[in-house]
Amino acid sequence: MLETDERLLTWPKEGNRRVPYAVFTDPTIYARENDLIFRGPTWNFLGLEAEIPKPGDIKSTNVGATPVLLMRTADGRVSAVVNRCSHKGSLLCIEPFANRTNLTCVYHAWSFDLDGNLRGVPFRNGVGGKGGMPAAFDPADHGLERLRVETFCGLVFGTFSAEVEPLEAYLGEAMAANIRRVLDRPIEVLGYQHQVMHGNWKLYMENARDPYHATILHAFYPTFKLNKLNMDGGLVLDPIGRHAITYSKSATDTAGAYEGGDLRSMIADFGLADPSVISWKWERDDGISLAVQSIFPNFVIHQIYNSLAVRQIIPLAPDKTELHWTLFGYAGDDDELRAIRRLQANLVGSAGYISMEDGAVVGFIQRGISGDDTAESVIELGGYDVATSEGVRATETSVRGFWNGYRGLMGFEA
């Protein structure tokens, strides 16, 4: 791991309310993030237990730039290893999903069990007593690089860090509570989407926890009164502010704020010819119609009415990011709920009525900030602090919180 280099960046003296655009463009910072964040003391989302139900099931994923395999071992445990043969570095599994009893490299057939132990080296003893591995070669020294793995409510997270606190402590009580709320029963994967955005990964992670843009950029939200800032709701942060939940309660909508103003977002004369895409059903009695939760650094889980999904960020380059959406329902859904979730899938994802714009705006920012490595963004809605904000979502406190967590890991002190 590289030592933090003060010369890499001087953070603005204002702290979390200013972000130098260089963090979205500088390839050196991007490389450093892989070491200090993705391979650092963080828990990264790897997948759902429901995606690897059977012994031998494998899902290919990434933690930052590192290719990782999430696996179900023969005895039913969940494990994760770097998808890289310990001999010459080739990928061991090239399929997105597979089922195997072991991992055998195509190049020289080194083979590993699903805990990453080296089990076979062809010609280890040579041919006819000649060649082969030296006597000192010990397979125990050449296993695959393993990640620490923990599961919570069917979510699987992994970390390269031996020091980071256990997953539930990393999430904190408030974050754990909403995950328990959404994942309170067995789930079933309903579909995948993969969306490439032409912008830095942090632009999307800012976006996912930003309630300011949600009802302005995504005009579908206020137009159909699905989400408005005058509804009761709030932002819940962990103590550092790097994780956040933005939630709202649709039944508490009041007039004003959008009507008669100059916001393009509430389009009064627009009506749906077939409103079945926004017909929905209460599944809990807490009144929360929308909850979008971001866990630092790479994970989002949402409940938007009856639409349920997890989103995983995979950085591809300083200016390119892939977002994996896994849409799910509950295993016990009746036909009515299945039909509702199916139509509400129109709201989210790369073609979603209330989310497609994020793909565009991440690219607009990346293009907008090119050519000037001294400019900064301004993040002052709601003041300067980083704190839970019950009742008020006209604030960017959750975005400042993201930067508070980021700066701490990167050593970017103001």
Partner 1 sequence: MIDVVTRDPRRIIEDLHARYVRCIDDDRLEAWPDLFTDPCRYQITTRENVTRNLPLGLLECTSSGMLRDRIEALRRVNVYEPHTYLHHISSLQISPRDDGAFGARSNYLVVRTLPEGEMVLFSAGVYADIIEIDGDAARFRERIVIAESRRIDTLLVLPI
- Contacts with partner 1, residue ranges (CB under 8 A): 96-97, 189-198, 217, 219-220, 223, 267, 270, 272-274, 276-277, 322, 327, 342-343, 345-346, 349-351, 353, 356-357, 359-361, 363-364
Strand partners, 309: 302, 327
Amino acid at 157: F
Q: CB nearer to partner 1: give 31 or 317.
A: 317
- Residue 249 vs 342, nearer CB to partner 1: 342
Q: Which residue, 365 or 409, is less far from partner 1 as judged by CB?
A: 365
Distance of closest approach, residue 198 Cβ to partner 1, in angstroms: 7
Reported residue count of the chain is: 414
Q: Helix crossing, 201-208 with 397-410: angle to 10°? A: 140
C-beta of 364: minimal distance to partner 1 in Å? Answer: 8
Q: Which is nearer to partner 1, 97 or 123 (CB)?
A: 97
d(CA 135, CA 130): 12
The least distance separating partner 1 from the CB of residue 327, rounded to whole angstroms, comes to 5
Beta strands in 25-142 (DSSP E): 44-48, 57-63, 66-72, 78-82, 97-99, 103-104, 111-112, 118-120
Closest distance to partner 1 from the beta carbon of 223 (Å): 6
The CB-of-256 to partner 1 minimum distance in angstroms stands at 21
Element (H, E) at 32: helix 27-33
Instruction: Locate all alpha helices (DSSP H) within 103-233, ordered by sequence.
Output: 167-171, 173-182, 201-208, 211-217, 220-223
- 86/215 with CB nearer partner 1: 215
For the CB of residue 259, give the shortest distance to partner 1 in the complex, in Å. 17
Contact predicate 248/393, CB 8 Å: yes
Tell me whether residue 3 or residue 269 sits nearer to partner 1 (CB atom).
269
The three-class DSSP label of residue 182 is helix
**From the CB of 358, what's the least distance to partner 1, in Å?**
8
Asked if residue 92 lies in contact with residue 83, where contact means CB atoms within 8 angstroms, the answer is yes
- Cβ distance to partner 1 smaller for residue 111 or 355: 355
Q: Concatenated DSSP letters for 315-364?
A: EEETTEEEEEEEEEEETT--HHHHHHHHHHGGGSSTT-TTTHHHHHHHHH
Smaller CB distance to partner 1: residue 174 or 216?
216
Judged by beta carbon, residue 75 or residue 336, the one nearer partner 1 is 336
Rounded CA gap, 377 and 142, in Å? 46
Cis peptide before 55 (omega within 30 of 0): no
Cβ-proximal residues to 321 (8 Å cutoff; 6+ apart), any chain: 196, 197, 199, 200, 201, 203, 204, 313, 314, 315, 362
Task: Count the neighbouring beta carbons within 10 Å of the beta carbon of residue 99.
Answer: 13
In whole angstroms, the minimum distance from the beta carbon of 346 to partner 1 comes to 5
Provide the minimum distance between the beta carbon of 316 and partner 1 in the complex, in angstroms, as a whole number. 11
Q: Considering the complex, what minimum distance in angstroms separates the CB of residue 270 from partner 1?
A: 6
CA distance 384 to 29: 25
Nearer residue to partner 1 within complex by CB, 91 or 356: 356
